[in-house]
Amino acid sequence: MSQIHHTIDKLQITEQLHKAVSEQNTDYIQQLLQGLVAEEVAEILEATPPKERSQLWGLLPSDTQGEILGHTNDEVRANLLSHLDQHEIIQLTEALETDDIADIIQSLPDEEKSSLLAKLPEQNRRAVQTALSYPEDTAGGLMSTDFIAVRSDVTLEVVIRLLRKIGSLPKDMVDLIVRDRDGKYQGTLKLNELLVHDEETLVADLVDPKRFAIKALVPDKEVATIFEKNDLISIAVVDENNFVLGRITIDDVVDIIREEAERAQMASAGLDDEEDLFAPPLRSAKRRSFWLGINLLTAIFASIVIGFFEATIEQVVALAVLMPIIASMGGIAGTQTATIVIRAIATGKLGAKNSHKLILKETAVGSFNGLLWAILTSVVTWFWFQDSALGIIFGAAMLINLVAAAFAGALIPLFLNKIKVDPALASGLMLTTVTDSLGFFVFLGLATIVFTI
């Protein structure tokens, strides 16, 4: 490999692979796969429709399949595993770290889990069982049991001898875990301390007690925050009694951060981020219909509001022409505020005191924009329909709806967060219910007063 990194054009390789698969050009497929790391192959599999996906999977070198599976999303992994028998799955896991084996076992149907576990080699089984005993989204579920620990009452000479015996250290290891005589966590010892100090020095004199460990049940989102805040590379995981269970490294944390961001983005449209891009259409349709159903109810609610004013619309049909503009502008203004507030909540920035100020600020923003667009649109309406009263009603409704949208856009996510519902998930639908219904009500209500009373 060249020493300068040339970015791989994954898209181009994906397309060439798809072509090679359809032409059954095995040699070319192997050649294309050679330059790729496991995560890239996993992404290419996710980007491949089901039929071609199984063909491609069958052509992957079997010693790479395990690591690749560790990088695919849940649905694609379960799908690929469903085509394998137990013997093949055991083979897959042979070269894997125990946390990756646990991921694979978790993707299997319940009845296969325990029978597969029983077939694992003794030393792996224990570690995998430990990993499985913690929920997937906690420090315990994330950790690898692949760490090196030394006792604090030995000299550096002993430690260096141990390292020489081990030969190659686990990837990304910048420090050793230090335990006391009872096996409890004490701190860490940086590898470079071994280089710069005398061999007679005791580990205890160099251990960094400020490097804390985390409990196995800490949620993964919090693990990510701890890494980010403290610029960590790895951290030890301990049980309730401070015994060391394993360690988490930054590469797992990077995945969590990426996934968490994707989850929030997908949730705002009522979608699951672990879904297969090429899932069968009927299955996808079923999953998405729940969200459409909820939206239908909110849309019907807005229609009922319009229904109150049928008589007015019959008289002034221009109202029907104009009313979607009010609703649409309210929706956008409210979404802008809600997006800001949802992000501030997600980053832990909104407490009782400053959220009041934020609501005030956002409502002020809504008022400024309300005023601007009220004036502009009322003039446009006046000329469009040659009706000054209609123009003034439209402007007034626009102003009221934009102020209300900003207020609701700030309030709804804060309220949802208070009642422990994910604001990213439900804010959008609740907000448009308010901006649509209120927009229609104010506009048609004002028109009813002016034109029919």
Judged by beta carbon, residue 116 or residue 170, the one nearer a second copy is 170
Tokens of 164: 């020489």
Nearest to 106 by CA among 126, 131, 83, 84: 131
Judged by beta carbon, residue 322 or residue 408, the one nearer a second copy is 322
- 177 forms bridges with which residues in the sheet? 149, 188
Tokens of 223: 């693990």
**Smallest distance, a second copy to C-beta of residue 269, A:** 4
**Smallest distance, a second copy to C-beta of residue 204, A:** 14
The rounded distance, in Å, linking the Cα atoms of 372 and 377 is 9
**Smallest distance, a second copy to C-beta of residue 110, A:** 29
**Smallest distance, a second copy to C-beta of residue 416, A:** 16
Nearest to 432 by CA among 271, 296, 312: 296
The rounded distance, in Å, linking the Cα atoms of 75 and 88 is 19
Sequence-distant (6+) residues with CB within 8 A of 157 are: 199, 200
Give DSSP secondary structure letters for 333-392. HHHHHHHHHHHHHHTT---HHHHHHHHHHHHHHHHHHHHHHHHHHHHHHHHHHT-HHHHH
- 151 forms bridges with which residues in the sheet? 179
Judged by beta carbon, residue 102 or residue 325, the one nearer a second copy is 325
**Smallest distance, a second copy to C-beta of residue 97, A:** 12
**Smallest distance, a second copy to C-beta of residue 191, A:** 5
Judged by beta carbon, residue 84 or residue 257, the one nearer a second copy is 257
**Smallest distance, a second copy to C-beta of residue 76, A:** 12
Secondary element (H or E) of residue 79: helix 74-81
- 243 forms bridges with which residues in the sheet? 184
What is the three-class DSSP state of 186?
strand
Judged by beta carbon, residue 119 or residue 357, the one nearer a second copy is 357
Tokens of 46: 């996710």
Judged by beta carbon, residue 43 or residue 146, the one nearer a second copy is 43
Q: How many other CB atoms sit within 10 Å of the CB of residue 37? A: 12
Judged by beta carbon, residue 117 or residue 380, the one nearer a second copy is 380
**Smallest distance, a second copy to C-beta of residue 336, A:** 5
**Smallest distance, a second copy to C-beta of residue 37, A:** 5
Judged by beta carbon, residue 106 or residue 336, the one nearer a second copy is 336
Q: Helices 122-132 and 110-119 meet at what angle, rounded to 10? A: 150
The rounded distance, in Å, linking the Cα atoms of 290 and 47 is 26
Q: What is the largest CA-CA distance in the chain?
A: 98
